[in-house]
Amino acid sequence: MAVRSANDIHELIERLLRQGDLRYTTGRRAIVDLLCRVGQPVSISDIESQLPSIPRSSAYRHLVDLQSVGAVRRVAANDDFARFELAEDLTEHHHHLLCTSCGDVIDVAPTPAFEKAVTTMIEQFAEREGFRPFSHSLDIVGHCRECG
Amino acid sequence: MAVRSANDIHELIERLLRQGDLRYTTGRRAIVDLLCRVGQPVSISDIESQLPSIPRSSAYRHLVDLQSVGAVRRVAANDDFARFELAEDLTEHHHHLLCTSCGDVIDVAPTPAFEKAVTTMIEQFAEREGFRPFSHSLDIVGHCRECG
DNA sequence: GTTGTAATGAGACTGAGTCTTGTTCTATGG
DNA sequence: CCATAGAACAAGACTCAGTCTCATTACAAC
């Protein structure tokens, strides 16, 4: 799903951090690396098991920092564990398949026809409700291939 | 947004509970009443303030019971408080406007054109990913009228 | 009534996520 | 090179939404 190379992403995130007077340190880079590699939303326990050298408190702090500069986005999954992924500006707009059995989250890219329909509809809501939309996300709930 | 009258909803929920060998007691009814009245997702603190006679532990238990028979659905909002609403079977299919400023959740009914586009796209994903879809939800993130 | 089961209230408990504190890096400047 | 100031960090205490336990109460069936 990566539209840019990992190198590009690192460079972009470094710039984003610098704009916020933050450094792109080893710990932050390790987390971004993981997010690039996995290519789908990652939970804190994923981070703990993949990057055991990073303490939980640091992982949370890094994620908050990365969010604050717009490099990372928090994803609300179906279980009650927060998950994190690279911001869409760095990858591409996509939606999520949520498995209610194993909790897994799978990224999927929408078709242009669908996104056009969404945009049209959102404009209607915005008009009617006086709502100013920033972004949208579609979650498809069901069972993944493994869970049948 | 109510497609059925509150009376109908109570009757349906009573039947759902009975099928699960559960009774439609005063506490459960009070919560369902609140969900009908408010007509949008409600948080635990909303329930506490609107129904002070129901202890928190009971409110949570009632919500779990109501969920287990399919009368109520848990909604993941943008803040990290769970919210609850009547299941779509009892009301009508709808989506959510999430305000990132005040945390409010507003129900909106999708246009038929949009739902057709969603269905088509979901079928494609299901095919491609071996995913068995049960339901979907679209969240539109932004600022509500009050928050500008 | 009696009796078995569901429902309830009160409060202890759990654990994801946050905050605090003291320490270690690192970028700059003399 | 060293000094030093601010950022980053590790460790662990802390918070509080949500869950669990258990003793008590309501209810349905006989």
CATH number at residue B132: 3.30.1490.190
Q: What is the DSSP letter of A3?
A: S
Which residues on adjacent β-strands are paired with residue B128? none
Instruction: Assess if residue A148 is contained within a domain.
Output: no
Instruction: Give A14: exposed, middle or buried? Use CB within 10 Å, 0-12, 13-18, 19+.
Output: middle
Phi-psi region of B70 (alpha: psi -120 to 50; beta: other; left: phi over 0): left
Share of chain A above pLDDT 70, in %: 98
Q: How far is B110 from chain A (nearest CA, A)?
A: 7
Residue A15 pLDDT more than 90? yes
Instruction: Assess if residue B147 is contained within a domain.
Output: no
Instruction: Assess if residue B55 is contained within a domain.
Output: yes
Predicted local distance difference test score (pLDDT) of residue A92: 92
Instruction: Assess if residue A147 is contained within a domain.
Output: no
Which chain B residues are within 8 Å of A131, Cβ to Cβ? 97, 99, 106, 140, 142-145
Instruction: Assess if residue B148 is contained within a domain.
Output: no
Closest chain A CA to residue B123:
A140
Average pLDDT over residues B93-104: 91
Average pLDDT over residues B124-144: 93
Predicted local distance difference test score (pLDDT) of residue A3: 62
Structure tokens, A121: 């509809």
Share of chain B above pLDDT 70, in %: 98
Q: To which residue do tokens 């990290």 refer?
A: B80
Tens digit of each residue's pLDDT (9 = 90 or more) over A56-75: 999 999 999 999 999 999 99
The CA distance from A74 to A67, in Å, is: 8
CB A29 within 8 A of CB A11: no
CB B142 within 8 A of CB A146: no
Task: Quote the domain boundaries for residue A119.
Answer: 6-142
Instruction: Assess if residue A1 is contained within a domain.
Output: no
Q: Do A124 and B134 touch (CB under 8 A)?
A: no
Residue among B102, B97, B62 nearest B81 (CA):
B102
Predicted local distance difference test score (pLDDT) of residue B3: 63
Name the domain count of chain B. Answer: 1
Please list, in sequence order, all residues whose beta carbon lies within 8 angstroms of the beta carbon of residue A70, skipping any fewer than 6 positions away. Answer: A16, A87, A89
Residue among B30, B76, B25, B65 nearest B50 (CA):
B30
